């Protein structure tokens, strides 16, 4: 397992999570953009023959290319910023 002292916890706080549409539907604890979905071709390249169990943790090392940078300002001085990263190389331990 990775040394968590050097990692940033990406868990969204209650204020950051807010709600989606209907006030009773709360957003997930982690942003959708943080999800990696590995399918058969990726699993084969990573030599994962036996699927892990839900809840297992793996160390991930990745190299990514910035493919989109976004910045805007809207009424009320609300600033939005985003960076999109295309993962090009990945290793899972």
Q: Coil, strand, or helix at residue 79?
A: strand
Partners of residue 82 on adjacent β-strands:
70
- What pLDDT does 22 receive? 60
**Residue with token string 């549409």:** 21
What pTM does this model have?
0.66
pLDDT at 89: 93
Q: What's the CA gap between 65 and 50, in Å, rounded?
A: 29
Question: Which residues of the chain, if any, have pLDDT below 50?
Answer: none
Token pair, residue 7, equals: 């990692």
């Amino acid at each position: 397992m990775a040394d968590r002292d050097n990692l940033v916890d990406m868990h969204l706080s209650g204020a950051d999570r807010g709600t989606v549409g209907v006030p009773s539907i709360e957003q997930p604890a982690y942003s959708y953009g943080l999800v990696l979905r590995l399918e058969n071709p990726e699993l084969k390249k990573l030599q994962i023959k036996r699927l892990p169990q839900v809840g297992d943790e793996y160390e991930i090392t990745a190299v990514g290319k910035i493919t989109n940078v976004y910045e805007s300002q809207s009424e009320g001085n609300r600033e939005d910023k985003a960076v999109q990263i295309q993962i090009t190389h990945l290793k899972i331990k």
